[in-house]
């Protein structure tokens, strides 16, 4: 009944036949998804291609660090878009929700929270974020209610929302640009202060490594306890080794990006450091929005794979009628998916307003396109029922690499739009072929 | 189906005697149920009941309204009129969750499986086993799934595949397993063996006999009249949304039941319903 394929997080084929030889047997044993492999391949091609075309400026710590920060906002929304699309819905309004929640947060902060809690109060940033999250939740909830309980198709509701919330963003501040007042909140956008530096980056990397290893061991134990087939040990070590190398490489790259001299001097003064004769070498390390993005990704992956709610989201996508007959309150689950999407749009709004240090009326324009493209390129099936959070995060990185690369090459905005639009169509076309093959 | 007029001309003896205790309140009583889709009266004033440990076979031509009637009991459809009583008390069944709360489990004709998740996820859909931390315990669910599937379909191995990748019979086994996994009191089986091979069909027949012993009441919808005569205590025949009549299986012959299905003619051994052919 659905054309969705088996590459969901829930249903990846098991190790099973370790005896099978060749590349297929290798993939089976390691449980590596072929389409994930394809996506990483595409990413490498894009990166190397731009690196060559730009005369060696793409694969630099500075550019990759910027790329990571730029990916965060759309990436956060893409993780929610996966669940929206998995339930056979779509959300065209995320860019506008980002716009209006960003504007509301900026106005709330400058006009109410900062005056109320005082300048430099450590509470302003969190209060601002909570205001944004609540607004996103309410907006998503309203749209979700209309979709789930009143039965208006998501396409129409969120197409209307695209206009309504963009208009709302204008209405909140009569179209003015609102500069943020709270410096703590601005850290959410990254920048020289909004990064955690070399030491903490290594601590973060170490924690990530421990987490990955423990997760792998726990999964193996669980399967052993019930006498299920387990991955051959060489495959386990290989996949584990690759992820650990990725973590270490990423950390080395963000740490290789140094503060420019004037900023380093300012930093030294602020922290009472003496500047050595050769100049100060201070690493950026991971940017806070990137950590936020990774955190959101982990939480969303957990929701999708390990919670009841996530299971219901996929079941609804696979067969809405069956889900209802199984006793799932499909309407409530659908509404909750849109609420979650609204909250993620608010987090994305916090990241992008903090990054610009102000809220503008046009913020998030066209982000719906990038978000949907990220999810779809990352393997989310528009027919519903299939998709992974991690895939969408990689998809966001692919889309952002494309855009950043074109900016680096000095391409005009209209031409960039043409390329992005075309890439989206081609990606979905390739996906259709892939699914037909593997079905 | 496989049953033809030639095959069923024998007036086989009744295989078993009616030992059902009908003195207490009925497990289920559906009274004067009606539902219409647009202008079509899919079910029109149908009444039907079921006692503990009893198998009631629901028969009728295609489109007679059998599935629609039982879908009202399982909470899939909302009736236009009529009442449902469970163990003598009026029951409010507005959705599938309500029905399950009364211990009503259903194997749908369409199977109603989520195609993109595996067998264990389907078996426990809506009633997942959780770990102490409140997360899905997939390993425990798979272990349970292996147990129950072993009872129904010992050759079944494909626990990791999404059920879309399974054969029709394997899918049907999953749907049956799901219905018996949660201590049903009332079991609705809408053509449960339509896609099964002979061995699996025999296993379902054994299963029905076992469930009877546990005092579970079963509505069995089937077009296979041999199966019906082997397994059921009573037959109820529907035609054009109405009940033609009902009878204890031992009081009627296969020919007579066929006459009820095709012509709506109620034999002497049966209690006529509103849909019986007028003389
Ligand atoms: N959801 C629906 N919408 C409209 N009409 C329906 C719907 N469900 C059933 N019907 C109609 O109601 C009538 C009874 O259908 P039902 O599925 O109950 O028949 P059935 O006795 O189960 O037949 P079969 O032996 O083919 O399974 C048919 O005329 C059918 O077209
Ligand atoms: Mg039917």
As a whole number, mean pLDDT of residues B62-85 equals: 96
Of A89, A148, A135, A94, which is closest to residue A333 (Cα–Cα)? A148
**Whole-number Å distance between alpha carbons of B112 and B122:** 9
pLDDT given for residue B4 in this prediction:
40
Which residues of chain B make contact with A326, given a CB cutoff of 8 A?
Answer: 96, 112, 114, 125-126
CB atoms B116 and A14 under 8 Å: no
Question: Strand B89-90 vs strand B81-86: parallel, antiparallel, or unpaired?
Answer: antiparallel
As a whole number, mean pLDDT of residues A407-418 equals: 93
Q: How far apart are the CA of B10 and the nearest CA of chain A, in angstroms?
A: 40
CB atoms B113 and A321 under 8 Å: no
Structural tokens at position A281: 């070498």
Strand order across the beta sheet in which B28-37 lies: B40-50, B28-37, B81-86, B89-90
CB atoms A326 and B126 under 8 Å: yes
**Whole-number Å distance between alpha carbons of A133 and B260:** 64
Mean pLDDT of chain A: 89
Q: Taken in order B264, B270, B275, B279, is the CA torsion positive or negative?
A: positive
Instruction: Determine which helix (DSSP H) or strand (DSSP E) holds A415, and give its type and residue range.
Output: helix A413-438
- Across A248-334, where does the E strand assignment appear? none
Q: Whose CA is nearest to atom 28 of ligand 1?
A: B63
CB atoms A311 and B106 under 8 Å: no
Q: Which residue of A has its CA nearest to B122?
A: A315
**Whole-number Å distance between alpha carbons of A73 and A344:** 9
CB atoms B125 and A225 under 8 Å: no
**Which three-class secondary structure state does DSSP give residue B56?**
strand
Of A210, A194, A364, A391, which is closest to residue A291 (Cα–Cα)? A194
CB atoms B121 and A322 under 8 Å: no
- Whether residue B99 contacts residue B188, with contact meaning beta carbons closer than 8 Å, is answered with no
Q: Which residue of B has its CA nearest to A5?
A: B116
pLDDT given for residue A9 in this prediction:
38
**Whole-number Å distance between alpha carbons of B210 and B104:** 17
pLDDT given for residue A344 in this prediction:
98
As a whole number, mean pLDDT of residues A226-233 equals: 77
Structural tokens at position A217: 């061991």
Maximum Cα–Cα distance across chain B: 67
What's the pLDDT band for B227 if we cut at 50, 70, 90? confident
What's the pLDDT band for A2 if we cut at 50, 70, 90? very low
Q: Which residue of B has its CA nearest to A218?
A: B139
Would you give the distance in Å from CA B201 to the centre of its chain? 15
Confidence check: pLDDT of B230 > 60: yes
pLDDT given for residue A171 in this prediction:
94
**Which three-class secondary structure state does DSSP give residue B193?**
coil
pLDDT given for residue A4 in this prediction:
38
- Taking the centre of ligand 2 as the mean of its atom positions, its distance from the CA of residue B26, in whole angstroms, is 24
**Which three-class secondary structure state does DSSP give residue B166?**
coil
Q: Please list, in sequence order, all residues whose beta carbon lies within 8 angstroms of the beta carbon of residue A196, skipping any fewer than 6 positions away.
A: A204, A285, A286, A287, A288, A291
Q: Please list, in sequence order, all residues whose beta carbon lies within 8 angstroms of the beta carbon of residue B117, skipping any fewer than 6 positions away.
A: A8, A10, A11, A311, A314, A315, A318, B125, B162, B163
Fold of B1-103+185-194+212-279: Rossmann fold (3.40.50)
Question: Strand B104-107 vs strand B271-272: parallel, antiparallel, or unpaired?
Answer: unpaired
Q: Whose CA is nearest to atom 18 of ligand 1?
A: B65
**Whole-number Å distance between alpha carbons of A147 and A92:** 13
pLDDT, one tens digit per residue, over A333-377 is: 999 999 999 999 999 999 999 999 999 999 999 999 999 999 999
pLDDT, one tens digit per residue, over A86-112 is: 999 999 999 999 999 999 999 999 999
b/e A208-237 (16+ beta carbons within 10 angstroms → b): bbeebeeebeeeeebbeeeebebbeeebbe
Q: How far apart are the CA of B126 and the nearest CA of chain A, in angstroms?
A: 6
- Taking the centre of ligand 2 as the mean of its atom positions, its distance from the CA of residue A314, in whole angstroms, is 27
Residues 16-75 of B with CB under 8 A from A: 74
User: SS in 3 state form for A143-196?
Assistant: HHHHHHCCCCCHHHHHHHHHHHHHHHHHHHHCCCCEECCCHHHHHHHCCCCCEC
Q: Whose CA is nearest to atom 8 of ligand 1?
A: B68
**Whole-number Å distance between alpha carbons of A7 and A318:** 12
pLDDT given for residue A15 in this prediction:
40
Q: Please list, in sequence order, all residues whose beta carbon lies within 8 angstroms of the beta carbon of residue B266, skipping any fewer than 6 positions away.
A: B244, B245, B260, B272, B273, B276, B277
- Whether residue A59 contacts residue A47, with contact meaning beta carbons closer than 8 Å, is answered with yes
pLDDT, one tens digit per residue, over B146-202 is: 999 988 888 888 888 899 999 888 999 999 999 999 889 999 999 998 888 888 888
Q: In this predicted complex, what is the ipTM?
A: 0.87
Structural tokens at position A403: 């855009």
Residue A289 burial (C-beta neighbours within 10 Å; 0-12, 13-18, 19+): buried
Q: Whose CA is nearest to atom 12 of ligand 1?
A: B42
- Can you say whether residue A265 is alpha, beta or left, with left for phi > 0 and alpha for psi between -120 and 50 degrees? alpha
Q: Whose CA is nearest to atom 17 of ligand 1?
A: B67
Would you give the distance in Å from CA B91 to the centre of its chain? 19
Beta-carbon pairs below 8 A across chains A and B: 110
**Which three-class secondary structure state does DSSP give residue A102?**
helix
In degrees, rounded to 5, the angle at the alpha carbon of residue B266 between the alpha carbons of residues B263 and B269 is: 145
**Which three-class secondary structure state does DSSP give residue B171?**
helix
Where does chain B have alpha helices with state H? 66-73, 96-101, 119-123, 138-152, 168-180, 198-213, 225-231, 254-263
Confidence check: pLDDT of B61 > 50: yes
What's the pLDDT band for A62 if we cut at 50, 70, 90? very high
- Among B110, B116, B190, the strongest candidate for a mutation testing the A interface, having the largest count of A CBs within 10 A, is B116
B128 to chain A, any CB pair closer than 8 A? The answer is: yes
Domains of chain A: 34-194+297-438 (1.10.3470), 195-286 (no CATH)
pLDDT, one tens digit per residue, over B77-104 is: 999 999 999 999 999 999 999 999 999 9
Task: Specify the residue for token string 């909250």.
Answer: A343
- Taking the centre of ligand 1 as the mean of its atom positions, its distance from the CA of residue B109, in whole angstroms, is 11
Helices and strands (H and E) in chain A: how many: 18, 2
The DSSP letter of residue A258 is: B
Query: Looking at the partner chain, which of B113, B135, B160 has a beta carbon nearest the beta carbon of A307?
Result: B135
- Whether residue A261 contacts residue A269, with contact meaning beta carbons closer than 8 Å, is answered with no
Q: Please list, in sequence order, all residues whose beta carbon lies within 8 angstroms of the beta carbon of residue A264, skipping any fewer than 6 positions away.
A: A258, A275, A279, A280, A281, A282
What's the pLDDT band for A294 if we cut at 50, 70, 90? very high
Confidence check: pLDDT of B60 > 50: yes
- Among A1, A7, A11, the strongest candidate for a mutation testing the B interface, having the largest count of B CBs within 10 A, is A11
pLDDT given for residue B18 in this prediction:
59
Mean pLDDT of chain B: 89
CB atoms A8 and B127 under 8 Å: no
Q: Per-domain residue ranges for chain B?
A: 1-103+185-194+212-279, 112-183
What's the pLDDT band for A167 if we cut at 50, 70, 90? very high
pLDDT given for residue B19 in this prediction:
75
pLDDT given for residue B1 in this prediction:
38
What's the pLDDT band for A435 if we cut at 50, 70, 90? confident
**Whole-number Å distance between alpha carbons of A179 and A177:** 6
Name all residues whose Cβ lies below 6 A of ligand 1: B 37, 40, 42, 60, 62-68, 109
Which residues of chain A make contact with B77, given a CB cutoff of 8 A?
Answer: none
**Whole-number Å distance between alpha carbons of A90 and A162:** 12
What's the pLDDT band for A428 if we cut at 50, 70, 90? confident
pLDDT given for residue B88 in this prediction:
93
**Whole-number Å distance between alpha carbons of B166 and B115:** 9
């Amino acid at each position: 009944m659905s054309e969705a394929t088996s590459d969901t997080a829930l249903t990846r084929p098991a190790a099973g036949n370790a005896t099978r030889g060749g590349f297929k047997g290798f993939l089976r044993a390691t449980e590596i998804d072929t389409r994930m492999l394809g996506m990483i391949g595409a990413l490498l091609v894009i990166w190397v291609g731009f690196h060559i075309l730009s005369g060696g400026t793409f694969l630099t710590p500075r550019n990759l660090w910027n790329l990571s920060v730029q990916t965060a906002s759309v990436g956060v929304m893409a993780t929610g878009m996966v669940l929206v699309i998995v339930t056979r819905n779509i959300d065209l309004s995320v860019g506008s929700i980002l716009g209006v929640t960003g504007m509301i947060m900026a106005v709330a902060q400058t006009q109410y929270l900062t005056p109320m809690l005082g300048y430099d109060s450590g509470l302003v940033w969190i209060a601002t974020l909570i205001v944004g999250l609540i607004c996103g939740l309410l907006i998503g909830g309203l749209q979700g209610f209309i979709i789930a309980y009143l039965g208006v198709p998501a396409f129409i509701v969120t197409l209307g929302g695209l206009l309504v919330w963009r208009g709302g963003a204008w209405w909140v501040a009569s179209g003015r640009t609102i500069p943020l007042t709270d410096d703590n909140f601005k850290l959410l956008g990254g920048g020289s202060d909004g990064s955690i530096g070399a030491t903490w980056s290594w601590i973060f990397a170490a924690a990530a490594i421990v987490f990955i290893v423990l997760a792998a061991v726990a999964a193996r134990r669980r399967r052993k306890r019930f006498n299920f087939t387990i991955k051959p040990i060489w495959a386990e070590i290989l996949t584990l080794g690759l992820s650990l190398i990725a973590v270490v490489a990423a950390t080395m790259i963000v740490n290789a990006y140094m503060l420019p001299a004037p900023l380093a001097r300012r930093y030294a003064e602020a922290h009472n450091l003496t500047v050595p004769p050769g100049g100060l070498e201070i690493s950026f390390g991971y940017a806070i929005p990137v950590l936020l993005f990774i955190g959101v990704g982990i939480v969303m992956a957990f929701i999708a794979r390990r919670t009841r709610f996530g299971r219901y989201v996929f079941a609804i996508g696979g067969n809405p009628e069956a889900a209802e007959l199984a006793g799932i309150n499909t309407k409530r689950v659908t509404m909750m998916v849109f609420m979650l999407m609204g909250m993620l749009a608010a987090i994305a709004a916090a990241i992008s307003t903090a990054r610009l240090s102000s809220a503008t009326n046009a913020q998030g324009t066209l982000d719906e396109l990038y978000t949907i493209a990220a999810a779809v390129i990352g393997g989310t099936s528009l027919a519903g029922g299939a998709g992974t959070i991690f895939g969408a995060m990689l998809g966001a990185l692919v889309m952002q690499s494309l855009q950043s690369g074109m900016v680096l090459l000095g391409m005009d905005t209209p031409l960039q739009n043409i390329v992005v639009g075309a890439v989206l169509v081609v990606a979905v076309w390739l996906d259709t072929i892939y699914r037909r093959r593997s079905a | 189906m496989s049953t033809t007029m030639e095959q069923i001309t024998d007036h086989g003896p009744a295989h078993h005697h009616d030992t059902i205790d009908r003195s207490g309140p009925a497990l289920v009583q559906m009274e004067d149920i009606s539902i219409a889709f647009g202008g079509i009266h899919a079910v029109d004033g149908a009444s039907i009941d079921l006692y503990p440990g009893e198998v009631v076979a629901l028969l009728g031509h295609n489109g007679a309204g059998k599935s629609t009637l039982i879908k009202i009991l399982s909470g899939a459809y909302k009736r236009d009129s009529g009442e449902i009583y469970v163990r003598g008390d009026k029951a409010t069944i507005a959705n599938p969750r309500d029905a399950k709360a009364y211990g009503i489990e259903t194997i749908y004709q369409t199977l109603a499986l989520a195609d993109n998740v595996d067998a264990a996820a389907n078996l426990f859909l809506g009633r997942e086993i959780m770990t102490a931390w409140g997360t899905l315990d997939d390993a425990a669910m798979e272990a349970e799934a292996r147990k129950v599937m072993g009872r129904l379909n010992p050759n079944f191995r494909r626990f990791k595949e999404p059920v879309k990748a399974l054969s029709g019979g394997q899918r049907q086994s999953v749907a049956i397993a799901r219905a018996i996994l949660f201590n049903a009191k009332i079991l609705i089986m809408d053509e449960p063996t339509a896609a099964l091979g002979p061995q699996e069909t025999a296993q379902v027949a054994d299963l029905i006999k076992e469930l009877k012993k546990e005092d579970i009441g079963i509505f069995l919808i089937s077009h296979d009249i041999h199966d019906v005569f082997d397994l059921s205590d009573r037959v109820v025949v529907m035609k054009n949304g109405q009940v033609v009549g009902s009878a204890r299986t031992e009081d009627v012959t296969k020919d007579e039941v066929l006459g009820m299905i095709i012509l709506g003619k109620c034999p002497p051994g049966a209690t006529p319903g509103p849909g019986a052919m007028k003389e």
